[in-house]
Each structure stands twice: as structure tokens, then as C-alpha cells.
Amino acid sequence: MSTLSWIVAASFTGGVLSLLLAALLTLNTRKAWVLKLVSFAIGALLGAAFLNILPEAFELSDNPAQVTILVLFGILLFFILEKLVLWRHCHMEDCEAHSPATAAEQTVPTVATVTASSYYTNEHEHDRGRSGMMIMIGDTFHNFVDGILIAAAFMVDTQLGIVTSIAIIAHEIPQEAGDFIILLNSGYSRRMAFLMNLLSSFATLVGGVLAYFMLNTLDFLILPLLGLASASMIYVALSDLIPGLHKRPEIGATIQQVTLILAGIGLIWFVGLFAHGH
């Protein structure tokens, strides 16, 4: 096989395989477990951002402040994007922004406040897809960078490319699972959540093919894309998901939430440790 064939096969297989495995893990989840898995998703997002993406960004940058500025810019960018999404879905009759009563007395519910019993119906007020859209934007950036990394590895050595692809697939499975949970909690149907993740996964193939033909000119994009990807994960975890967990302040729920967050972080850490060890 030629180098380009390896890149195409690895990028396509990596994106689709990780998506299918994540779907098997999450789309058949019982309703009672949906909210519990939100905690795991928080851990996976924070783990991916702080244990994998940001360390890679710091290695690529000669100036650590450059990375932190990118993350700060990304957080502000996603805040603005979320505001635009709110504005787009705003209706004169029922919008929080246009209703003095609701603006003063209500807050927009976060994804983690949705109850499991009403989750799969239209009776609850979900977050109108805000966090789902945010995470899809960030995941698309991340997948695009994964494609660039796969291409770069194969252009150095085929064996290195294969190992890199395996590591990326292993890393993507828990992250894609977290994305599914976030999309479902954000009000998307199972089918739409799968289609959105499938579309996002093709960014890996696009990044790999573009990198093969334009690797030298795309090098400068890796660092800002890594910064934006980590910013999106941090923003969604801290802004949309964690506040909802505070709606259940009892000791038992808190212990469960912390345990699942640590489990998500631990899985990302273990996958990264295993990949670096091999």
C-alpha cells in the first residue's frame, strides 16, 4: 500500500470504528443511567483536554503563554458562539432574553438538570442543543488534528503510523462516548446524535488527506486547533455540565458524581499511558 492509501484507510477506519464502539457503549444505555454517565463524560472531557491535548500543544509551542492565550481565546469564542445559538433559537413569545419575568426569575437549564424519566420525551426543557453544538465544533477540530497526526506519522514510518492510529482510536472511544451522552442530554435524538458524530468523524479523513498534500503549510494550524479543541471541552464541562450536578447536593449523589468523574479522567490517563508506553 502507498503512504496515501495507509493514511486514508487509517483515518477512515479510525474515525468510524471509534464511533461505532462508542455508540454500542452508549446508545443502548438505560434511562436511569443517562445522568450518571454525564459525570463520566465530564471526566473524559477534562481528562482529554488536560492530559492529552494541552500537553501536545505545550510540546509544539516554544512559548507556554501562547498556548494559554489560545485556550482563553477559545473559551471566549465558545461563549460567544453559545450566545449566538441562544439568539438563533430565541422566540419573541417565549425567550428568556425577551421576557422580563423569565429573565429575572428563571435560568436556562443546563444539560445535566434533565431528569432521566423525561429525557427521551419532548416534555422537558433541554438546553436546545447548545452544549451539543459546542462539543461537535470542538470534536471536529480535534478529529481534524487527529487526521494530521496520523498522516504525519505515516509519512515518517508505516509502523509508527499504525501505532499512532491505534492510540488515537483508543483515545477517541471514551471521548466519543462522552459526546453521545452530551448530545442526548442536549435534546438530540439517538439517530441525530449518531449522524452528527459520524459527520464529525470524517474530519479525521479530511485532515489526513490535506496533511499528506500540504503538511508543510498546515503545520502552523496544529497548535491553534489543539488550543481550540481543548477550550471547547473545558468550556462544555465547566459551563454546561458541572453546574447541573450541583442540583443533587446529597452526599450519596456527590460521591457517585466524583467517582464517575475520576473514572472518566482515569480512563483517559490509562489510554494515554498505554499509548506512550508502546
Cβ(260)–Cβ(37) under 8 Å? Answer: yes
Query: In degrees rounded to 5, what are phi and psi of residue 83?
Result: -60, -40
Mean pLDDT of the chain: 75
Nearest one of 227, 179, 201, 198 to 61, comparing CA atoms: 227
Candidate ranges 56-60, 80-84, 126-130, 221-225; pick with highest mean pLDDT: 56-60
Predicted local confidence at residue 72, as pLDDT: 96
Of 30-34, 118-122, 209-213, the range with the highest mean pLDDT is 209-213
pLDDT tens string 252-275: 889 999 999 999 899 888 877 776
Burial degree of 189 (CB within 10 A; 0-12, 13-18, 19+): exposed
SS3 percent helix, strand, coil of the chain, rounded to 5, is 80, 0, 20
Virtual torsion, Cα 50, 126, 106, 97, nearest 10 deg = 90
Q: What pLDDT sits at residue 66?
A: 93
Task: Tell me whether residue 262 is exposed, middle or buried, using C-beta atoms within 10 angstroms of its C-beta: 0 to 12, 13 to 18, 19 or more.
Answer: middle
For residue 115, name the pLDDT band (cuts at 50, 70, 90): very low
Is 185 or 206 the better-scoring residue by pLDDT? 206
Whether 112 has a pLDDT exceeding 70, the answer reads no
- pTM of this prediction? 0.64
Residue for grid cell 458524581: 257
pLDDT digits (tens, 9 = 90+) for 142-158: 788 888 878 888 887 78
Of the pLDDT bands very low, low, confident and very high (cuts 50, 70, 90), residue 123 is very low
Span of 27-41, 135-149, 155-169 with lowest mean pLDDT = 27-41
Residue tagged 428563571 (cell numbers): 106
Instruction: State phi, psi for 137 to the nearest 5 degrees.
Output: -65, -50
Name the more confident of 245 and 185.
245
